Structures are given as structure tokens and as C-alpha cells.
Amino acid sequence: MLTQILNYFCSVFVNMAFFNGPRLLEWANSPPHLQFNKYVLKGYRPVSSAQDCVRSLFYLHNELGNIYTHGIPLLCFMVLLPFSIPWSQISITWLAVVHILACLSPHIGSVLYHLFMNHEGGAPVYHTLLALDMCGICMINTLGALHIVYITLLCYPSIRSAALLAYILLSVYGIYSAVTARDSMRRLRSFVWQALFRLTLFLLRRLGVGVGSPSSLRHFIAMDTLAVLGGVINISRFPERLRPGLFDYWLNSHQIMHVLVVGAIVCLHWGVVDDLVWINGYLCPSD
């Protein structure tokens, strides 16, 4: 039944496409640098020019879902995020601006990576695009957490400055590790120290040592939970490893990760807005 449903939607999409694409390749015939998921058996685009890569937005192939699951949220975030922030109610506008940049970064890198990964430039272009994608993920991990550090340690200016510097240095190390990693597991491990740093801040809030909006903490915990779950699903190659070939076009692990990442960013946004509004009316206790 699931196979019939997937095939139906594939045929519908093909009929709706603006034009027919080139002959797609199977895994064994695709360029070696694109053979990173042996459970996705078909639907690979041939080596293409930049123009033909852009044309691939309009026909079915196995990267189309990856492009649109971050491309559509990118367009939505660009339009909606600035209007969803109550600028008149916040006093630290630079945190809001940094937050918007953080939310856009992973989507930009991901769309460029998935759209042009089969470029005729071959493996060098692919690895450059992969590094750009990793930098986008690192940006959301770095810029996206700066306000958490800032607000949690609001009442301890010296410790706050030291913590911001430490987190930025830790992020630089994370970027280097992610860009130079040779497989998905090592790339996931590159972000572990940043996650542990954020977990420490969450514990400080929970214990009452750190401050922040009472409602924002649950959003941040949901954010990291979704992000970690997405990373685990991606490296496990679930569900396509159970039925190789069935999830070539839709519902494979990478697409599921994309959807969970979008959910994580939405949770981050809710928590940031709560904190930015809350901080405007908060006064640190005097000694």
C-alpha cells in the first residue's frame, strides 16, 4: 500500500512538472562523490551545468524533496520572521537581528548544496558546497545560541562576557570539525560540545541561577530535542535502510531531518521572542 501511494504521488508530480528532465541515474552509475547513501537506489541527476542544476527545480529527482523542504521554509522565514518579532516591545534589537540571520543561514547553505551538488565541477565543487552547508548549520548553532547565553547570564555581566567568548571559540572549533569531517557521524559529533554548553545554560535556568522567560525554556529544550533526533535519523539512514529503493524520492532520512530542523528553528524562534519581550521588563536583583 505504501509503495502504491508513493508511486502515485511521484506520477502526479511528474505530470505537473514544467518539463521533462534528463535521464536519471542509478546509484551505481552516479558520480562517486554522490554515492553517500547506498539505500537510495535511483533518481540521481547526471553531471550538469549550473543552468541545468537550476532547471532541476522543475522535475522529479531524488534531491528535489531535500531542496524544497528547506527552500520553502527559507522563503517563509525571510518574509515572516521580521514581522513576527514585536520590535516595539524589545530593547536589545541586535539580538533579534542576529536571531533572524541564524534562522536563515542553514536553509541558504542547504538549498545551495542540494541544488548544485551534481555540478559539472565535480568533487571539488561538491565539497565546497558541503562545507557551505556545514557552515550554515554551524551558524544556527552559534548565532542562534548567543541570546541564550546573553539572557541566561544577564545578571552576571563578567561571567556573561566570558561565556559568550567561550561559546564563540567553541563554535569556531565546531565549524572546523564539521567542515573537515569525513562522514555524517563525525559531523554530528562536531556539534556535541555546543549542545552540552547549551544544556548547562538550561540547567542554570532550571535551578534559578540563570534568568529568562518562564515559558522560553521548554521551547529551547524542544529545539535541541528535534535537532538531535534529526541528526540521529540522518546518520541511521532510517527508514530507507529497511526498504532500499522505496524512499528514493520522498520520506527518506535526510528529508525527515530537514523537517525536524525546521521545527527546531520554529521552537528557537518562539523561545527567542518570549525572552526578548520578557527581558524588557526585568530588573536584576541588587546585591
Q: Which residues does the annotation place in the binding site for Zn(2+)?
A: 114, 254, 258
Which residue numbers belong to the known binding site? 114, 254, 258
- Within its chain, how far is the Cα of 16 from the centroid? 28
Q: Print burial letters for 194-226: b (CB count within 10 Å at least 16), e (below 16).
A: bbebbeebbebbeeeebbbbeebbebbbbbbeb
